[in-house]
Amino acid sequence: MYFENIPVIPYEGPQSRNPLAFKFYNPDQVIMGKTMREHLPFAMAWWHNLCAGGTDMFGRDTADKSFGAEKGTMEHAKAKVDAGFEFMQKLGIEYFCFHDVDIVPEADDIKETNRRLDEISDYILEKMKATGIKCLWGTANMFSNPRFMNGAGSTNSAEVYCFAAAQIKKALDITVKLGGKGYVFWGGREGYETLLNTDVKFEQENIARLMKMAVKYGRSIGFTGDFYIEPKPKEPMKHQYDFDAATAIGFLRQHGLDKDFKMNIEANHATLAGHTFQHDLRISAINGMLGSIDANQGDYLLGWDTDEFPFDVYETTMCMYEVLKAGGLTGGFNFDAKNRRPSYTPEDMFHAYILGMDAFALGLIKAAKIIEDGRIDAFIAERYASYKTGIGAKIVSGEATLEELAAYADELGAAKLPGSGRQEYLESVVNSVLFT
Ligand code: XUL
Ligand code: CO
């Protein structure tokens, strides 16, 4: 036991003052025909929860993530597995996500790293069988090792490109072995610092070539799940190619990858791109590409990826509104979020997940209320009513010509104003649903 002072976290309801209890996440509660557990397939992010100790540019770890073993050893890798499964079981989390190098220490020679990956994945598989916990997605970390300083698929070095291919191949092998539902490409260094040394067209084509090889290989070993792009506009690179959902979807279509890929939308990445989280969810959903979510939040006063545990219920409500409207996710909600550096105790790890799971559960409850309330949907339908009949219906049917519409305008001479947007009224509807 690594968290012996922590009990299995119960649901105690909104009035509870117990810090180690859920206030809103009640897994068996039914909302719009499905249980919360079904609506919210939560996942633990191996890297933040079991690996990251709070190191930043200005100081070393504050949290001890050794779990009683020497870091950089396979004993430590196994201790992390044990601690991680105990953690997930105590919170009722049914999935996890991992990078290759989160689950084993990377060796100097890739053959040894791969041997370690075989060993640890056997160990993880045993734990999965014993607990029923599943893998949401796997990925390869192609941004930490110095060889990836100029990118992986976008690197200038064909030799480095082969190492990226080798890591993807192995990460796919492990993901398939663990029954992962998805495989993620987050283009951490797929971008550039200056055009003075960069062939953007060539780099983007090379990324597409790598993704096509990944799809071909993945399908050949029986991977039937979704590949995901996780868009992010910047950090670590000044300019990253997968800027936002719209950009990534365009890229996938351009290269014929759109049937195999969906989006993994991370809240704080969308906000770094100057969008709301809801915007990138909507763009993905209307293109049939809303796959999975990295559930965190940013700090609007900071221009970088703070990966905070979500507490902003407006954000989680609007997220769940999009998810409900899209008919749910094929993936899940991965908490790509970390404790603040001064929150360094094991209790803080639990408080963080309780906060995040409760924030999404409350968002789900409120989003369902907004939909059931009906005023927002009714207003939107009414707002476009002029396209239902007459000239509007003709436009939508595709039969109208530009000359015909110009003649229609000539006849009117002047247009009526298009109707009030009623934003303030609609915002007050949201508040009244949220706070009653
Ligand atoms: C980094 C980030 C990654 C991806 C997986 O901003 O979000 O952790 O989720 O590589
Ligand atoms: Co992420």
pLDDT number for residue 349: 98
As given in the structure block, the two tokens for residue 252 are: 């996938």
Contact 263, 284 (CB under 8 A): yes
Cα 49 to ligand 1 centroid, rounded to whole Å: 13
Residue ID of nearest Cα to ligand 1 atom 6: 305
Residue in the block written with tokens 């044990």: 82
Q: What angle do CA 397, 281, 384 make, to 5 degrees?
A: 30
Mutate to test the pocket of ligand 1, among 266, 335, 338 (most ligand atoms within 8 A of CB): 266
Contact 301, 263 (CB under 8 A): no
User: What distance in Å separates the CA atoms of residue 247 and residue 163, rounded to the nearest whole number?
Assistant: 26
User: Which ligand does the CA of 185 lie closest to?
Assistant: 1
**Mean pLDDT (10-residue bins), the chain, 436 residues:** 97 98 98 98 98 97 98 98 98 99 98 99 98 99 98 98 99 99 98 98 98 99 98 97 98 98 98 98 98 98 97 98 98 98 98 99 98 98 98 98 98 97 98 95
Q: Which atom of ligand 1 is nearest to the CA of 334?
A: 9
In single-letter form, the type of residue at position 182 comes to G
Q: Which atom of ligand 1 is nearest to the CA of 266?
A: 7
pLDDT number for residue 229: 99
Residue ID of nearest Cα to ligand 1 atom 7: 336
Q: Which residues line ligand 1 (CB under 6 A)?
A: 99, 139, 184, 186, 230, 232, 266, 294, 305, 336
Q: Which atom of ligand 1 is nearest to the CA of 305?
A: 6
In single-letter form, the type of residue at position 363 comes to G
Cα 91 to ligand 1 centroid, rounded to whole Å: 23
Cα 253 to ligand 2 centroid, rounded to whole Å: 22
Q: Which residue of the set 48, 76, 100, 102 is catalytic?
A: 102
Is residue 109 part of the annotated active site? The answer reads no
Q: Is the dihedral of CA 385, 390, 392, 397 positive or negative?
A: positive
Q: Which residue of the set 39, 48, 99, 279 is catalytic?
A: 99
Is residue 76 part of the annotated active site? The answer reads no
What phi and psi values does residue 266 have, to the nearest 5 degrees? -105, 130
User: Which ligand does the CA of 46 lie closest to?
Assistant: 1
Cα 142 to ligand 2 centroid, rounded to whole Å: 14
User: What distance in Å separates the CA atoms of residue 140 and residue 130, rounded to the nearest whole number?
Assistant: 26
Chain-centroid distance of CA 372 in Å reads 27
Structural domains in the chain, CATH included, are 30-373 (3.20.20.150), 387-434 (no CATH)
Strand partners, 308: 297
Mapping DSSP onto H, E and C, the string for 346-387 reads: HHHHHHHHHHHHHHHHHHHHHHHHHHHHCHHHHHHHHHCHHH
The model's pTM is 0.98
User: What distance in Å separates the CA atoms of residue 319 and residue 75, rounded to the nearest whole number?
Assistant: 39
Report the C-alpha dihedral over residues 347, 351, 352, 356, rounded to 10 degrees: 160
Chain-centroid distance of CA 102 in Å reads 17
Reported as type and span, the H/E element at residue 111 is helix 110-131
Residue ID of nearest Cα to ligand 1 atom 8: 336
pLDDT number for residue 295: 98
Q: Which residues contact 173 (CB under 8 A, 6 or more apart)?
A: 221
As given in the structure block, the two tokens for residue 97 are: 């996500």
User: What distance in Å separates the CA atoms of residue 357 and residue 351, rounded to the nearest whole number?
Assistant: 10
Q: Which atom of ligand 1 is nearest to the CA of 48?
A: 8
Residue ID of nearest Cα to ligand 1 atom 10: 186
Contact 247, 284 (CB under 8 A): no
pLDDT number for residue 413: 98
Strand partners, 192: 239
Q: Calculate the alpha carbon distances from 234 to 146, 149, 271, 407 in Å.
A: 18, 15, 11, 48
Contact 113, 145 (CB under 8 A): no
